[in-house]
């Protein structure tokens, strides 16, 4: 399939090692990843070979969110966005778009930087790598917390989506991984951390306040198409004050305020479950390059047993509508 | 459908408040649950009305596992098993079977108690409520830890399955639930806690040592049919020493050493995903009574769009084979 | 679910016994059907009870298509359309719309009558009951035959869809039903007859000539979501002149020129197959009243395991777009 | 996947052009088919390349069934079975098994020949190419007709399955294909003809008389997983005498007396529908060689999104049990 748009495609600048710790990862794999993060020629070749017309780029995780000093976060976010604009988007405007990095350690500044990135640099939204550290690596701010609302207000006003990308669980939550540290990252810990974060957003009432706000989740919604209906079912018996201020059922937000991408997943069974839970208008193709190969995700996607109508929607049409691209 | 066998059906003795904390739960709901946990006449009426021939009973969570004093755990496990035998199984041997409570705080004693329960009381296996506290509520022992092997050796020798039931995450893992404490329990926290526990078992090499060992998971495998293929995919790039001593792929253990039950789930989309991941021979009907109603789970199950062949397998035949019941 | 639109809903006038032969059908059933065909009050009560806002009515099969004398067909088609307008649509314009009957025995006249029905009576398209008899009951004209093109040209020009409804196989095709005459009708014969008719349309090149032409099939596409991919696969090895003048693959027409309705079907397994072959934008709710009950089809549809997004599309939104209704 | 067993694999002897007419088929394709039908070395190479351990061979259609003279049919059936034994099975007993050809023009002789083939030649059942011509090509005997019962009695007694293979519709049923003769064969006509034949068997009461009788259908049951539930639903309103003497619901026979193979189909959507209607114990891998290539069917099957448990069942285990092979 030609003309695909991919949304969870990462980059890194030589000036800032955004990937943080990778203690558990195979060195050979990680070093190849890092090389790929920083260049764009092989990336375009890969895109050409795999029918990907457009990659929407984002600073790799934990990126700005892992910086404990708010001032440094503000400064670095701008610098990184400028770098992405200069070295990727401007060089190949027909192939690269970008999500802004935002310094959520200071939500007002995050809102300003989002506005600048969208209006001045032509970025198409923001990508947030989970919670933001503030002060130290043990302290985290989640996106549903009240002080973050100015950022969401700006996203709603600009009508741009926010991609909620995973990051590693907080240190004091790592006890359950003892002896299996390899599970902490994208293999397992990322998914639970991010799914919980997304549930917090739903329950917080954010989407009642901004009904048109759009959040994007990778990895087919971090399992939520399978797990969220049970959450909803069980919350019936929990006292209301223990699960936020939401006015609607969680699955209603999932269907109406979220898009789910195929990043890092090529499992037809899970895709069918997702299709039967949220419908094909809310699924988007993505790779998670360079952590994943375009070959694996694309060759699966191009042939997986869905209708050609849905393949075109998921591969191209939904993203083109969401971002108002001319296709 | 008549003749169903249900496996995640709980009881409690008036002598021991096994349910522990329920701070987040609606009081009216919880009080009805507690009444139902302790009696059996309404339970049998419910079973009759919903086509459930046999309930396999287990002490409700966290039960013995939440007792921080090992000696008390050993003593109480015996007492509870005797109670279940006397007040449930012996009174209605054609309607009730039981899983043993086992004091895993002392794995040798747990092995002994399992043997006694199976050989002397006619119990059909054990149900374990997640990690066991030892000493205090902050200290947990997971079932993959080396000192627990004598228990598994006994289960393998007796050829009985072990049901891994959820319990609430450890205190220091609760930060991510701040402001949403209602998510801590069965709504969300239970599932991640238990899925992680199950992955630890797979990665530990336990099933390479005891290839015929059988573990049962509730709630359609706590999401693993959807999430485990990605874990497996990502572990490719993790250094081997960071993910245990397993010899096979995680999904291979899921298909060959696990059974997954429908307890607390009545979502056809998730059932189809499960069917396409593990096959119908490995799925078992269950309710999670009295936390769930037999009506909701049964009326869904009896009509959900699977073949009648698979309905009979899941509802009756698979469990009858696993436990060698005469049907 | 409220607000559903149903498209394969039949009526009959006391002046013309449009149902023809019903030798094989249970008398009690058929007599109840006939009563329901001719009245509208119970119909509206049924619609209210089952969340159906709008029924698009059509003269029951074989209707005009079974009239062997072209002149009589022309006259009767007009008379029946006037009757539908007067006794149904005008009385309850907010609840009833109509498909025109068209005298295809004279395709030019069929085109004219379609135009009159749409422009003067406000009808929303035509419903055609399979082949048309010409001269006698052994002679049939299929809709792909060259002389029928003026009718299609008019439908394309008016931008209205044509519902291809089943009728019984021709007499000389009935040998295979010997001893099982009950299979001839909707139980089996209708489906094959109509699926073949639809394949002929695809292969004829009709949709290459009129790329925006829309045909609607009932009964989840008469099995084509399951069977058409094999037809397409096997035609690779047939000589081109033996399968029409089509320029595209048959499944491409199915996805782009057809809508498939749920009339008379309430089988989730088949719906999922259909969803994975044509996508939810091309499926429409329908009952096939009064041959089917609104209760059976609606209660299944309202709860079948698809996303609420797709339920709304199939139940209401797709039809509202197709017919440009204000919802 | 290694070790697959394939069941709809055809051969032809140079002494008897069993394929009959092939007017509509591309000549180059057909000539390659015919070469492949008669040799076995390339066939074994293909099997090796595609992980097929065993092919169960059958005389290609219409074979014996198309012979209008009963005496010639009896004589030729024996001759063909001897040929299959000598030139295929005996030469590679570890790779080839065979279904007997049976002269159903004389059902008593068919029973005798089945017995001889099973007991003396080691054949594993029979394959029947649809109706049998008797006297001329316009006269057909279907397998549910009373005079055929001695053949079924013998199959039941020998406990061997009968594969019901398609053949072209009878001449007087070909009107609907006018102008589209390429549809008459495997592209479309075969499927309807065979599905109807199978429904006749179900409705005739045959499986009430011989409850353990097993019939195998190719092409994922010729569409019946999708279409049969509607047949069953509609028969409610047909007078009983119009649909045979069956005691059970048609879908019950489909699940309990039939196996469905993947011959000629590689469509995951249809396989999932089949899995959800009959369960994985009743599906068998097959190719339909040399009309289909082993590459296309195998490469699809080896990777289609079903559980590995079901893949092994469908690919190997179900057939091994049915035919009591040592695997």
**Interval C127-186: pLDDT, tens:** 999 999 999 999 999 999 999 999 999 999 999 999 999 999 999 898 899 999 999 999
What's the gap between Cα D56 and its chain centre? 11
Structure tokens at B23: 């701070």
- D contact test, residue of C137, C203, C219, C223 with most D CBs within 10 A: C223
Quick one: pLDDT band at residue B21, thresholds 50, 70, 90?
low
Question: Is residue D16 in a domain?
Answer: yes
Q: What is the pLDDT of residue B28?
A: 93
Quick one: pLDDT band at residue C233, thresholds 50, 70, 90?
very high
Question: Is residue A327 in a domain?
Answer: no
User: What CA–CA distance (Å, rounded) separates C184 from D242?
Assistant: 10
Q: What is the pLDDT of residue D22?
A: 73
DSSP, res A203: H
The one catalytic residue among D46, D106, D144, D288: D288
Residues of D with CB under 8 A from a CB of B: 251-252, 255, 272, 275-282, 305-310, 313
Q: What are the backbone angles phi and psi of residue D298, rounded to the nearest 5°?
A: -70, -45
What value does the mean pLDDT take over residues D293-305? 98
Contact C295, C47 (CB under 8 A): no
Q: What are the backbone angles phi and psi of residue B133, rounded to the nearest 5°?
A: -75, 140
Task: Name which of A251, A272, A309 is nearest C279 (Cβ-Cβ).
Answer: A309
The residues near D145 (Cβ < 8 Å, ≥ 6 apart) are none
What value does the mean pLDDT take over residues D235-254? 97
Residues across chain C: 327
The one catalytic residue among C46, C106, C144, C288: C288
For CA atoms C223, C224, C225, C227, the dihedral sign is positive
Neighbours of chain D (3+ CB pairs under 8 A): A, B, C
User: What CA–CA distance (Å, rounded) separates C50 from C296?
Assistant: 10
Instruction: Report the gap between the CA of C242 and the closest CA in chain A (Å).
Output: 27
Per-residue HEC secondary structure of chain D comes to CCCEEEEEEEECECCECCCCCCCCECHHHHHHHHHHHHCCHHHHHHHHHCCEEEEEEEECCCHHHHCCCHHHHHHHHHHHHHHHHHHHHCCCCCCEEECECCCCCCHHHHHHHHHHHHHCCCCCCEEEECCEEECEEEEEECCCCHHHHHHHHHHHHHCCCEEEECCCCCHHHCHHHCCCHHHCCCCCHHHHHHHHHHHHHHHCCHHHHCCCCCEEECHHHHCHHHHHHHHHHHHCCECHHHCCCCCCCHHHHHHHHEEEECCCCCCHHHHHHHHHHHCHHHEECCCCCCCCCHHHHHHHHHHCCCCHHHHHHHHHHHHHHHCCCCC
Full residue range of the structural domain in which residue B228 is found = 4-322
Angle among Cα D294, D63, D224 to the nearest 5 degrees reads 60
Question: Is residue C327 in a domain?
Answer: no
- Per CB-CB distance under 8 Å, the chain A contacts of B223 are 223, 226-227
Q: For all residues of chain D together, what is the average pLDDT?
A: 96
Neighbours of chain A (3+ CB pairs under 8 A): B, C, D
Residues of C with CB under 8 A from a CB of A: 251-252, 255, 272, 275-282, 305-310, 313
Task: Name which of B276, B307, B309 is nearest D305 (Cβ-Cβ).
Answer: B276
- Per CB-CB distance under 8 Å, the chain D contacts of A272 are 272, 305
Place of tokens 């995973």: A166
**C·D CB contacts under 8 A:** 183
The verdict on a CB contact (< 8 Å) between B268 and C268 is yes
User: What CA–CA distance (Å, rounded) separates B298 from A87?
Assistant: 59
Instruction: Report the gap between the CA of C304 and the closest CA in chain B (Å).
Output: 9
Structure tokens at C191: 């489906």
CA atoms within 13 A on the CB side of C169: 29
The one catalytic residue among A71, A288, A302, A310: A288
- Per CB-CB distance under 8 Å, the chain A contacts of B30 are 237
Count Cβ atoms below 10 Å from residue A103 Cβ, excluding itself: 27
Q: Is the pLDDT of residue B326 over 90?
A: no
- Burial pattern C137-149, b for ≥16 Cβ within 10 A else e, equals eeebbbbbbeebb
pLDDT tens string A119-153: 999 999 999 999 999 999 999 999 999 999 999 99
| A229 → chain B, closest CA residue | B267
Task: Name which of B251, B275, B309 is nearest D255 (Cβ-Cβ).
Answer: B309
Neighbours of chain B (3+ CB pairs under 8 A): A, C, D
The verdict on a CB contact (< 8 Å) between A310 and C277 is no
> CA nearest A189: which of C177, B195, B215, B7?
B195
pLDDT tens string C240-294: 999 999 999 999 999 999 999 999 999 999 999 999 999 999 999 999 999 999 9
Coil, strand, or helix at residue A186?
coil
Q: What is the pLDDT of residue D327?
A: 58
Contact D191, D222 (CB under 8 A): yes
What's the gap between Cα A106 and its chain centre? 20
Q: What are the backbone angles phi and psi of residue C319, rounded to the nearest 5°?
A: -65, -40
Question: Is residue A206 in a domain?
Answer: yes
Contact B199, B251 (CB under 8 A): no
CA dihedral D279, D281, D285, D286 (to 10 degrees): -90
Instruction: Report the gap between the CA of C110 and the closest CA in chain B (Å).
Output: 43
Structure tokens at B161: 């399955």
CATH code where residue A185 lies:
3.20.20.140
Task: Name which of C267, C269, C305 is nearest B269 (Cβ-Cβ).
Answer: C305
- Per CB-CB distance under 8 Å, the chain D contacts of C269 are 225-226, 229, 273, 276-277
Cα distances (Å, whole numbers) of residue C132 to A52, A216, C213, C222, C327? 50, 53, 20, 19, 35
User: What CA–CA distance (Å, rounded) separates A32 from A6?
Assistant: 20
Residues of chain C with pLDDT > 90, as a percent, come to: 96
Instruction: Report the gap between the CA of B195 and the closest CA in chain A (Å).
Output: 10
Whole-model pTM: value is: 0.98
Sheet containing C126-129: give its strands across: C126-129, C162-165, C215-217, C258-261, C283-284
Structure tokens at C12: 């009959």
In C12-131, DSSP assigns E strands to: 52-59, 96-98, 126-129
The secondary element (H helix, E strand) that includes residue C5 is strand C4-11
What's the gap between Cα A156 and its chain centre? 17
Contact A83, A12 (CB under 8 A): no
| C277 → chain A, closest CA residue | A307
* Range scoring the smallest mean pLDDT among A290-294, C172-176, C212-216, D240-244: C172-176
User: What CA–CA distance (Å, rounded) separates A31 from A37?
Assistant: 10
User: What CA–CA distance (Å, rounded) separates C200 from C182?
Assistant: 26
Residue B33 burial by Cβ neighbours in a 10 Å radius (0-12, 13-18, 19+): buried
Q: Is the pLDDT of residue B327 over 90?
A: no
The secondary element (H helix, E strand) that includes residue A327 is none
What value does the mean pLDDT take over residues B50-65? 97
The one catalytic residue among B46, B106, B144, B288: B288
Question: Is residue B327 in a domain?
Answer: no
CA dihedral D232, D234, D240, D245 (to 10 degrees): -20
Residues of B with CB under 8 A from a CB of C: 267-269, 272, 304-305
Q: What is the pLDDT of residue A327?
A: 58
What's the gap between Cα A140 and its chain centre? 18
| D252 → chain B, closest CA residue | B308
Question: Is residue C121 in a domain?
Answer: yes
Q: For all residues of chain C together, what is the average pLDDT?
A: 96
Instruction: Report the gap between the CA of C58 and the closest CA in chain D (Å).
Output: 21
- B contact test, residue of D271, D274, D275 with most B CBs within 10 A: D275
Count Cβ atoms below 10 Å from residue C70 Cβ, excluding itself: 18
Active site residue B288: yes
Contact A200, A140 (CB under 8 A): no
Instruction: Report the gap between the CA of A90 and the closest CA in chain B (Å).
Output: 33
pLDDT mean values, one per 10 residues, chain A (327 residues): 97 92 86 94 97 98 96 98 97 97 98 98 98 95 98 98 96 92 95 98 98 98 98 96 97 98 97 98 98 98 98 98 87
Residue D250 burial by Cβ neighbours in a 10 Å radius (0-12, 13-18, 19+): buried
Instruction: Report the gap between the CA of D38 and the closest CA in chain C (Å).
Output: 20
What value does the mean pLDDT take over residues D23-31? 90
Structure tokens at B203: 């990665």
The secondary element (H helix, E strand) that includes residue A43 is helix A41-49
Per-residue HEC secondary structure of chain B comes to CCCEEEEEEEECECCECCCCCCCCECHHHHHHHHHHHHCCHHHHHHHHHCCEEEEEEEECCCHHHHCCCHHHHHHHHHHHHHHHHHHHHCCCCCCEEECECCCCCCHHHHHHHHHHHHHCCCCCCEEEECCEEECEEEEEECCCCHHHHHHHHHHHHHCCCEEEECCCCCHHHCHHHCCCHHHCCCCCHHHHHHHHHHHHHHHCCHHHHCCCCCEEECHHHHCHHHHHHHHHHHHCCECHHHCCCCCCCHHHHHHHHEEEECCCCCCHHHHHHHHHHHCHHHEECCCCCCCCCHHHHHHHHHHCCCCHHHHHHHHHHHHHHHCCCCC
* Domain count within chain C: 1
- Per CB-CB distance under 8 Å, the chain D contacts of A269 are 305
User: What CA–CA distance (Å, rounded) separates A227 from A136?
Assistant: 32
What value does the mean pLDDT take over residues C69-96? 97
The verdict on a CB contact (< 8 Å) between B185 and A226 is no
Q: What is the pLDDT of residue B3?
A: 97
Place of tokens 């899941």: B314
Q: What is the pLDDT of residue A20?
A: 78
Q: What is the pLDDT of residue D23?
A: 80
Q: What is the pLDDT of residue D308?
A: 98
**A·C CB contacts under 8 A:** 46
pLDDT tens string C88-124: 999 999 999 999 999 999 999 999 999 999 999 999 9
Q: What is the pLDDT of residue C138?
A: 94
Cα distances (Å, whole numbers) of residue C20 to A260, C23, C31, C64? 52, 9, 13, 10
Task: Name which of C251, C277, C309 is nearest A279 (Cβ-Cβ).
Answer: C309
The verdict on a CB contact (< 8 Å) between D307 and B277 is yes
Neighbours of chain C (3+ CB pairs under 8 A): A, B, D
Q: What is the pLDDT of residue C23?
A: 80
């Amino acid at each position: 399939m030609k003309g695909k748009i991919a949304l969870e495609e990462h980059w890194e600048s030589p000036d800032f090692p955004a990937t943080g710790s990778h203690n558990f990862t195979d060195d050979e794999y990680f070093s190849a990843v890092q090389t790929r993060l920083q260049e764009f020629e092989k990336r375009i070749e890969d895109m050409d070979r795999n029918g990907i017309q457009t990659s929407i780029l984002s600073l790799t995780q934990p990126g700005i969110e892992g910086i404990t000093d708010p001032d440094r976060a503000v400064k670095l976010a701008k610098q990184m966005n400028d770098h992405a604009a200069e070295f990727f988007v401007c060089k190949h405007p027909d192939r690269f778009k970008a999500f802004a990095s935002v310094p959520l350690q200071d939500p007002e500044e995050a809102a300003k930087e989002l506005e600048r990135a969208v209006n001045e640099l032509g970025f198409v939204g923001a990508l947030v790598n989970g919670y933001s550290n503030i002060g130290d690596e043990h302290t985290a701010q989640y996106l549903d917390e009240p002080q973050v609302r100015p950022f969401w207000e700006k996203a709603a006003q600009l009508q741009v989506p926010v991609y909620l990308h995973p990051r590693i669980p907080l240190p004091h939550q790592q006890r359950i991984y003892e002896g299996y540290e390899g599970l902490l990252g994208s293999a397992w810990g990322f998914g639970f951390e991010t799914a919980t974060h997304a549930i917090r957003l739903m329950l917080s009432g954010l989407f009642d306040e901004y009904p048109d706000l759009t959040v994007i989740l990778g990895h087919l919604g971090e399992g939520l198409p399978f797990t969220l209906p049970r959450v909803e079912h069980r919350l019936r018996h929990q006292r209301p004050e223990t699960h936020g201020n939401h006015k609607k059922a969680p699955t209603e937000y999932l269907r109406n305020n979220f898009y789910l991408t195929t990043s890092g997943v090529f499992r037809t069974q899970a895709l069918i479950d997702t299709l039967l839970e949220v419908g094909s208008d809310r699924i988007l193709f993505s790779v998670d390059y360079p952590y994943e190969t375009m070959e694996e995700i694309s060759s699966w996607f191009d042939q997986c047993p869905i209708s050609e109508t849905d393949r075109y929607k998921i591969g191209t049409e939904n993203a083109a509508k969401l971002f108002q691209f001319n296709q």
